[in-house]
Every structure is written in structure tokens, then in C-alpha cells.
Amino acid sequence: MNLKEWIFTTDHKRVGVLYLIGSIAAFAVAGIMAMLMRIELSTIGPTITANPTQYNVWLYTHGAVMILGFQIPALTGFFANYCIPLMIGAKDVAFPRVNALSVWLFYVGVILALLTFFIPDPPDVMWTGYPPYSTITTGNTAMYSFTVLILGFASIIGGVNFLTTVAYMRAPGITLNKLNIFVWCTLAAFVLQLIFVPVLGTAVSLISMDKYLGTNFFDPTKGGDVLTYQNLFWFYSHPAVYVIFLPFIGVVYEIISVHARNAVFNYKMVVYGGVGGIVLLAGEVWVHHLYVSGMADWLRIGQMVTTLLISIPVGLMMIGLIGTLYKGSIAFNTPMLYGLGVVFLFLIGGLTGIPLAVPSLTLGVSDTYYVVGHFHYVMAVAGTFAIFGGVYHWFPKMTGKMYNEFWGKLGFWLTFVGVNIVFWIMMDIGVQGMPRRYYDYAHFPQFESAHQWMTAGAAVLAVGFAIAVLNWIMGAINGKPAGDNPWNSPSLEWTTVSPPPHGNWPSPPAVAEDWHPYGYKKA
Amino acid sequence: MAYDAHHADGHAHPHWDTSIYPFIISFGILALAIAFSFKFVYHNGFAAILALGLAVPMIIAGIVGWTSEAMGKGEGLSYGAMGWFIVAEAMIFVSFFVGYWYTRLHADVWPPAGTVALPKLLPLVMTFILVASSLTIHYAEHLLHLGNKAGFRTWYVITIVLGACFLGMSAYEWSHLIHEGFTISTNAFSTVFFSVTGLHGSHVVVGLAIFLAGLPSVLRGGDVDEGFMRTAGLYWHFVDIIWFFVVSQVYYW
């Protein structure tokens, strides 16, 4: 092992592994923040801190690091890097140095986010950074802005790199209708990143400029407008949900198709209807995050319609998954359990989102635990399950070794039970009126036992995730040899050796006329 | 060669490509972010200068090293990649303009108190110069494609001079307005004016920097990387087009 060849690497697989290590570390830190919040909330009144600002800092770190340091880098960093060049038969990405730059910018962004624990006046602006609070707080808002800007820039150059790679570097014979669903999904996510991340970058720059450089974007006394920020922020941050959703559902497609030994159901419907529909609609729904911020009724109704519309392409993608399972020969191994877990969790998350699209219903549950439970189901938990399932799925490819199936399944079931305890109860007490973001809930003593159940559930799921990560580490060290293609998949990444060498194949892989990544031979 | 690394080939130590420069640039940017916090959040000028003194050499060394390592070795993919990158760049301007429109159209009075009259003639001259530079770089590329290196060199240098003239006029205008008491902090319109023209100006600087990075090989008279020149030209045209929006929305509305 040559450390220099890892740190300064430009190889897409090693860059991918660096992304994985960094994002799992970020996941651990952000998970600890969540546990601290859960412990704090387990009793009424101060439990482990008497300082509400401390709680705000945990909230900030949990949200910002989970989204920007874990989910987006794991999906568009690790999976995209590791899988896309292998799936299209390329020797590397179009710009290997740019790729290395994006992974190290990602580390720099995570380092900035973690400096929160060591600096005076850490940022306390949640992951949203709404002004006027963010421009008047004593917390260090600049740290937040720079974290977002650096991670955003990393994902923009990553997006440019991968769009160019897939456009120009596919092996001969890999036509657009023979791309893996994961490649389609991730490309769509990169298009969304290119369009929307710059808007977020602008929004967070403006709050720091207002706070430190004396500009007046959000200062009404000088003619500025606070709502401008909310619009810019959600114009990115709603599509960010699809930036996470698309790659993770793509991972689930790969998992389910292989482990059910079934071609993806209605490939063109999934790609052009599902993925394409989401890309077209992603930028037209952000105002539903502002239903209670004040706006004209006609705008509310219009946004309700577009928000409900986007459930159609999302529904097509779910139909594709269920159809792929139909009459498949399903192997209930660890990656498949996570894949099925995503289908289940995403269904709950998706259905509980429909009431939130409707202003008349949303006004009642806005800023309650119902919203928190909903988006944790739909995005946080479903996305994390897909990431864990995907790592298990490609683990034999990355290491050439096999993980332990028993510990894998045990970890899955613990997390699965844990998340349902936490987030089902959360939605329940949210509907009953438990407000979100509160450090204490002395006015709602009736929810104390529910909070204690959630804290217990959080402990269970934390153990489950820890078992999974330990399982990978142990498997990478002394797992049994897995062979080059343990899942018997026709997809291109399994045709090279495990782990693949620099350059991936001795010469670009040739595919037969009737080859398809989902062309399973029936026994 | 990359493909030699296939492990079935034998026991030789497999070769993995590396580059140290992305690492250096990234940590330079980290130091830059920390310098900002020191200066504006913790008001510790000395620490800020230290961090800046670390950041700037790292970033410059990284870019110079990267350029010399990679220049001329591309696979002709940069033109398409620049197209995607411009999508992202355009969205930055879109967010500034939309934020501006949103604020302006919601305002009770516009322009807010404290606004001064902007010059009307200078922006016209600046527009003329920037459009001219877009035409000269296009003509230079055309000559390069025909193999006329001397002609290419002339028009390339003229483009750089025109770009520098534009920046000089912009700086003159800024100092004039600031002298009249119209600064970035005056009101919401001054904020928009200075941030949008400044953002556009920073893109002119980047465009010029790309041209200057290519200048040594142009002056040496050896082989010129035609793909590099086309990519640089594409970026320059983008900067030019954005200026029309700046001039129409900020100066003449």
C-alpha cells in the first residue's frame, strides 16, 4: 500500500473510495449530533446541556453535515465515481485531476464544517441559514457560507466532469438506451446540480456579504428583501432532494434488478418518464417550502399543482421497482434487504408528503414534527438505506472480498426497526402539535414518553449502522474471496477483475450486439 | 501506460496516476476561508494575513503546476465541458438578476434613497470594447485554424489589451462613484450595482487569466493548443453576452 498513490490519486476508483471514507466519517459525526439531540430531548428541561445555543449548534451540524457532507458526496461522489466509468466501459473520467480536486475540496468543506466544534461562536443557523437571524447572530455565519460554497463548487466541477465523461467516453456499442439506470439517474442529478447549486452558492454568499461586507440584500431599511433569500435557497434546496433521490433510487434499481434476476421493468418509461419528468419539474416546486412565509393565493395553488404533479414521475420510478420485483427470483441477501427497505420507507415518506403539498393541510402541520418525520422517511432514511445497500452491493467489486452476511442482516434489521420507531412516532406527535426545532418542550409534557421511545429507537438504529460499518471494515480486512462477479450480473462493472486495476480493463470492453446491462439469462 | 496495470499481467507494481496540485489548491482554499473568518468574524488582522500568506502561494503554485503538467495533453474534451460549466456560471448571474428583480418589483419606492445618477456614456463605450474583443478572439481562432500563426498572435494580444481596457474603465467608474459617496453599503440598489458589476468584472479577470495562461506558448511561436484556445474563446463570448444583461438591467433600467 502506497499512501502517496492514495492521497494524490487521480484514479476514479480511489477518488471514489476517498469520498466513501470521508462521507461515512461525516455520517458518524452527524449521527452523534442526532443522538445528542435525542438524549437532550429525552426529558423535559435540561438533560445534558442547559444552553439552548449548544442545541442549535448540534442541529446545525446534524443537518448541514448529513446533507452536504454525507448524502450528496456519498451518492454523487462515491457511487458516481466508482460506478459510472466502470458501467460505461471507460478507463477513467474525462478530467482525472479535476476529479481529485473535487474530492479534496469535499474534504476541505467537511473540515470547515467540523471546525464548528473548535471555534468560538460556532455557526448556529441550521442548514438553512435564514436571514435576518443569520445576519445578526453572534455565530460565525461565514463558516457556514464557505462550507456550502466549497462543497457546492466541488459538486459543480464533479458534475461537469461526469456529464463530459458519459457524453464522450462510452465504450463502443454502449448506446443511450443501454446505460444503467444508475447512470441515467446520476447524470440527471448532475444536470440538476449544475443548474441549481450556483443559486445556493449565491444565496449563502449574500448572507455573509450582508453580515460582514456591508451589503443590503436582505436589509429592508435599505430597500432589501428578506424573502429573496428564502426563494433563492429553496430554489436549490428543493431540487437538492432530487439530487439525492435520483442517484439513490438508481442504486436501488441496480440492487433490485440483480438480486431479483429480472430486467428493469419498462426501462424507457423509467428513464424518459421518471428521470426526465423529475428533471423537468424539479425547478418548479420550491415555493411549497414558503407556504407560511407569506405569498399570493394564486401562487400557492399553482405550486400545489406542480408539487402534486411531480409525484407522477416519482410514481413511475416506484412502479418500475415493483415491476422489476414481479416474478423475479428474489435473493434476500443484505443488499436486497436494504433495497426492499428503501421501497417500503420511501412509500411511507412519499405518501405522507402528499398532504404537505396541499396548502390547506400544510398550514396546520407546518413547523411540526410531522414535517421532520416526513422528510426523514423520504430522504434521510430512504437515501441512507440505499447508500448502505449500495456499498454492500459493490463491496465485492471494491475489495475482491465478501462481507459477513449474518452481521449484514442483523445490522439491517436493527436500523430498520429503529428508524420506524423514531420517525413514525415523530410524525404522530407532530400531527398532535409537537413543534420542531425546540430545545425544550415544557409546554407539551404529554409528549415526554413519546420522546423517550424515540430516543430508545435512535439508540437501536445507531447500533445497526455501527454494525454495518464494522462489517465493511472487517470484510475489507479478512473477508472471504468473492471472485470477479459474485452476483452474476451482466452489467459492465462486473466484467473486470475485483478490485479493478488502474485503467479498469486491458483494452476497452467490447459488448455484443444484443448485450444489455439487465440482460439476465433465464435458468 | 494506464492499461499495463492489469493485474493479470504479472507481479509488477501496478502504476497509479497521481497529481499533487489538486490537493495543494484545495487546502489553499481552506486557508482562504479561514483567513476570511479571522478578518471579518474574529477581527484578528494578523492571523488573517498569516492565513492569506499561506493560501495565496498555495493556490497560485497549484494552478501553475497544474497548468504546466496538463497543458497540451488534453483529449479535446474541454470544449464540451466548458459548455456545461457555463450553464452553472450563467445560473449565478440568473440568481443575482432574479434576486434583483424580486427586490425591485416588491419595493414601494425605487431607487431607494441615496442613489446617484449613473454615467450613461461610459457603459456604451465599455459595451463596444467588450463586443470588439469577442470579435477579435473569434477572428484570431479563425486565423489559427487556417494556420496563420502570426496573425493569430496579433489578434490574440489585441483581445487581451481590449479586455484590460474594459477592466480599467470599470475601475475608473467604481472609483468615481465611490468618490461621490455611492458605495456598496449605501442602499439595496448600490449593493446590486457593485455586486453585479463586480461579479461580471471577476469573470473578465478569469477570462483574461485563461488567456494569459495560454500566452507563453503563443509568444514562443511553437505549437498552440487549438482546443485550449477554442475553450478560452467560448468562455470569453459567455462573459461578453452576460455584459448585455448587466448593462441593460443595471445601467439603463
pLDDT of A397-433, one tens digit each? 999 999 999 999 999 999 999 999 999 999 999 999 9
ipTM: 0.90
Residue A507 lies in a domain: no
For an interface test with A, which of B21, B30, B196 has the most A Cβ atoms less than 10 Å from its Cβ? B30
Identify whether A310 is part of a domain.
Answer: yes
Whether the per-residue pLDDT at A523 is higher than 80: the answer is no
Provide the pLDDT for residue B10.
42
Task: Inspect the interface and report whether the beta carbons of A506 and B9 lie closer than 8 Å.
Answer: yes
Cβ contacts (< 8 Å) between B78 and chain A: which residues?
A: 95
What is the per-residue pLDDT across B71-122, written as a single tens digit (0 to 9) for each? 777 777 889 999 999 999 999 999 999 989 988 888 888 888 888 888 889 9
Three-state DSSP class for A514? coil
Task: State yes or no: pLDDT of B226 exceeds 70.
Answer: yes
Q: How far is B8 from chain A (nearest CA, A)?
A: 9
Q: Are A222 and B187 an interchain contact pair (Cβ–Cβ within 8 Å)?
A: yes
Partner residue opposite B14 with nearest CB, options A98, A502, A507: A502
Q: How high is the pLDDT of residue B192?
A: 92
Please name the CATH architecture into which domain B76-251 falls. Answer: Up-down Bundle (1.20)
- How far apart, in whole angstroms, are the C-alpha atoms of residue A130 and residue A204? 9
* Average pLDDT for A466-476: 97
Contact check, Cβ <8 Å, A143/B30: no
What are phi and psi for residue B98, nearest 5 degrees? Answer: -65, -40
Query: Which of A22-26, A182-186, B249-253 comes out lowest in average pLDDT?
Result: B249-253
The reply to whether A329 falls in a domain is yes
Determine the pLDDT at residue A266.
Answer: 93
Q: Collapse the DSSP code of A440 into the 3-class scheme (helix H, G, I; strand E, B; otherwise coil) and give the result.
A: coil
> Cα distance from B117 to chain A (closest Cα, Å)?
17
Mean residue pLDDT across chain A:
93
Q: How far is B158 from chain A (nearest CA, A)?
A: 31
Residue of A nearest to B83 (CA): A160
Query: In chain B, which residues have their Cβ closer than 8 Å to the Cβ of A197?
Result: 88, 91
What confidence score (pLDDT) does residue B9 get? 42
* pLDDT, position A27: 97
The residue behind cell 459548455 is B83
Interface with A, mutate which of B93, B103, B104, B110 (most A CBs under 10 A): B103
**Of all residues in chain A, what percent carry a pLDDT higher than 70?**
99
Q: What are B190-224's pLDDT values in tens digits?
A: 999 999 999 999 999 999 999 998 888 888 877 77
pLDDT in tens, B124-171: 999 999 999 999 999 999 999 998 889 999 999 999 999 999 999 999
Cβ-based contacts of B192 with chain A (< 8 Å) = 217
In a domain, A502, yes or no: no
CA torsion A168→A171→A175→A180, rounded to 10°? -100
Is residue A87, in this structure, part of any structural domain at all? yes
pLDDT attached to residue A106: 96
In angstroms and rounded to an integer, the radius of gyration of the C-alpha atoms of chain B is 22
Question: What domain count does chain A have?
Answer: 1
How close A231 comes to chain B (CA, Å)? 9
What pLDDT is recorded for position A262?
93
With cut-offs at 50, 70 and 90, classify the pLDDT of residue B69.
confident
Predicted pLDDT at A170: 94
Choose from A222, A227, A237, A399 for mutation: most chain B CBs within 10 A.
Answer: A222
Q: How far apart are CA B15 and CA B3, in angstroms?
A: 9
Domain housing A21: 8-495
| Mean pLDDT on A117-145 | 90
Closest CA to A411 of A491, A473, A361: A473
Q: Of A271-280, A470-479, B12-21, B182-191, which range is least confident?
A: B12-21
pLDDT at residue A223, as a whole number = 84
How many interface pairs between A and B have CB atoms less than 8 angstroms apart? 209
In a domain, A512, yes or no: no
Under an 8 A CB cutoff, do A111 and B88 touch?
no
Locate A98 and state its grid cell.
479535476
A501 within domain boundaries? no
Q: Residue A10: list chain B partners with CB under 8 A.
A: 17-19, 22
The CATH number that applies at residue A472 is 1.20.210.10
pLDDT for the residue A145 = 95
pLDDT for position B11 = 43
Closest chain A C-alpha to B19 CA, distance in angstroms? 5
Distance, in angstroms, between B12 CA and closest chain A CA?
12
Instruction: Tell me which amino acid residue A411 is.
Output: G
In a mutational test of the B interface, the residue from A93, A202, A497, A498 whose CB has the highest number of chain B CBs within 10 Å is A202
B7 chain-A contacts, CB cut-off 8 A: 497, 501
Chain A residue with Cα closest to B84? A160
- Band of residue A522 on the pLDDT scale cut at 50, 70, 90: low
Residue A224 has pLDDT above 90, yes or no: no
Alpha-carbon distances of A213 from A135, A163, B194, B198, B201, rounded to whole Å:
11, 36, 12, 14, 18
* Cross-chain residue pair B99–A140, CB shorter than 8 Å: no
Q: Please tell me the distance in Å from B95's CA to the nearest CA on chain A.
A: 5
Q: Is residue A444 part of a domain?
A: yes
Closest listed residue to residue A120, CA positions, set A143, A97, A104: A143
Grid cell locating A145: 457560507
Query: What's residue A1's pLDDT?
Result: 63
Cα–Cα distance measured from residue A263 to residue A257, given in angstroms and rounded to the nearest whole number: 6
pLDDT at position B214: 84
Give residue B3's pLDDT. Answer: 38
Cβ atoms within 10 Å, residue B242? 22
pLDDT at B102: 87
